[in-house]
Amino acid sequence: MSNAILDIHDKPKTGQWISLSLQHMFAMFGATILVPQLVGLSPAIALLTSGIATIIFVLITQFKVPAYLGSSFAFIVPIQIATETGGIGSAMIGAMFVSLVYALVSLIIWKTGYKWLMKLLPPIVVGPVIIVIGLALSGTAVDMAMNIPTADGGSEYSLLHFSAALVTLATAIICNIYFKNIISLMPILIGIIAGYAYSTLIGIIDFAPVAAASWFQVPEFLLPGIDYSFQVTPTLLFVMVPIAIVTISEHIGHQLVLGKIVDRNYIKDPGLHRSILGDGIGTFISSLVGGPPKTTYGENIGVLAITKVFSVYVILGAAVFAILFSFFGKLMAVIDTIPTAVLGGISILLFGIIASSGLRMLVDNGIDFGNNRNLVISSVILVIGIGGAKLEFSESFAIEGMALAAIVGVILNLILPGLEKQELDDGTE
């Protein structure tokens, strides 16, 4: 079975179990806490819900899929837009509806198979939308890296803070390029640690909140009906829900890659419907208590590939550690003191990688841009998404940005002549 050291249902010895699970937790740690930092959510809740969502996912997939669920970067801009228009609770409601889309897609796949999904979401649509997600965030990353807030509510350039961003970025690049072991899979975490250490040396961190924090602290929950009113608007739905186009495609890609690594066909068993449902329920539970939407993590798939340890119990151990760490008040306080410049530095790399992964999808699938059909679809998606186009029907109903780009991309792909039959390489002969 792909030269597995520990196969799917093998249980490691206690000491080995702890070390292997911690390794998986740290692989996802940097990215999972970065998302809530960028959108105004609690890192502690993000950690807690990542662990809970992973356990739910493993249960729904019948202990057959060793995948870890962390915070999804695809929803950063939609959450920011939803928060600006209706508060952070609005974003949580939108995420709940995204999970309902997952459940509906799962049900349809269960009854009809998955081929229709590949026709609806081919690479020529998903690739450019992923590029939009990365590039739409580029201005935010650079602003965070270079500028600091001023008393009048504006911002000003700071070379000192920008130097912290550059140290963070350089460290992450070095880890990713010059190391080929487990370190190469944790460039975000290591970059943030290096940037934090440098920020300490140049004196731009206030440690007072860390000293004041308790060792044990319950994560800050955000509950509907208690912390915010439950109000659904058409704009909210059209900001959040269309991003499922990307995340479902990402999910399928992860299941295919993971299946090749562990020598199993996850599209067939336990089935794509189960894994998508697990992703959806994990997202629903997360948003119900104030956490960001969830997605399977490529970082942890990389850890599986390197270590050849495929045990689902190791993944469950990582989930338990994430839950325990979320109650570690001092650690959460340290995370809250991470300078914006450090987050900006790591975001420059991370958002660029997101955009580049969309480009890679187009290259890997041999998309021919000599074909005018492909050229038109990708061009329209890119300009609408990055340009921030908006369809505003009223003050309370508008579709904009990457959500509009995704919808237009799907429609163009379906109505333009020359639609080719899409086939998914699911590993079957």
pLDDT tens digits, one per residue of 144-155? 999 998 877 788
Asked if the model's pLDDT at residue 53 lies above 90, the reply is yes
pLDDT for res 246? 83
423, pLDDT greater than 70: no
120-124, 165-169, 170-174: least confident range: 120-124
Angle at 130 (CA atoms; ends 127, 135), nearest 5 degrees:
125
Per residue in 389-415, pLDDT (tens digit) is 988 877 667 788 888 999 999 999 999
Q: Over range 74-90, report the average pLDDT.
A: 89
Instruction: For residues 245-266, give the mean pLDDT.
Output: 88
Which residues lie below 8 Å from residue 39, measured CB to CB, with a gap of 6+?
Answer: 76, 79, 80, 83, 88, 91, 292
Q: Could you tell me whether strands 155-157 and 294-296 are parallel, antiparallel, or unpaired per DSSP bridges?
A: unpaired
List all residues 6 or more positions away from 273 whose beta carbon is below 8 Å from its beta carbon: 106, 107, 109, 110, 114
What is the pLDDT at residue 312?
97
**For position 1, what pLDDT does the model report?**
46
pLDDT at 237 over 80: yes
What's the chain's average pLDDT? 89
For 194-219, write each residue's pLDDT tens digit: 999 999 999 999 999 999 999 999 99
As a whole number of angstroms, the distance between CA 390 and CA 409 comes to 15
Residue 426, pLDDT score: 55
Judge whether residue 296 has pLDDT over 70.
yes
Mean pLDDT computed over 156-183: 91
Determine the Cα–Cα distance for residues 75 and 247; give it in Å rounded to an integer.
9
Q: What is the pLDDT of residue 428?
A: 47
| Residue 246 phi, psi dihedral angles, 5° rounding | -80, -45
Residue 316 has pLDDT above 70, yes or no: yes
Give the pLDDT band of residue 420 (cuts 50, 70, 90).
Answer: low
The CA distance from 29 to 318, in Å, is 10
**pLDDT above 70: residue 422:** no
From 98-102, 213-217, 220-224, 236-240, the region with the lowest mean pLDDT: 236-240
Question: pLDDT: is 151 or 174 the higher one?
Answer: 174
> Sorting pLDDT into bands at 50, 70 and 90, what band is 2?
low
Identify the band that residue 81 occupies on the pLDDT scale cut at 50, 70 and 90: confident
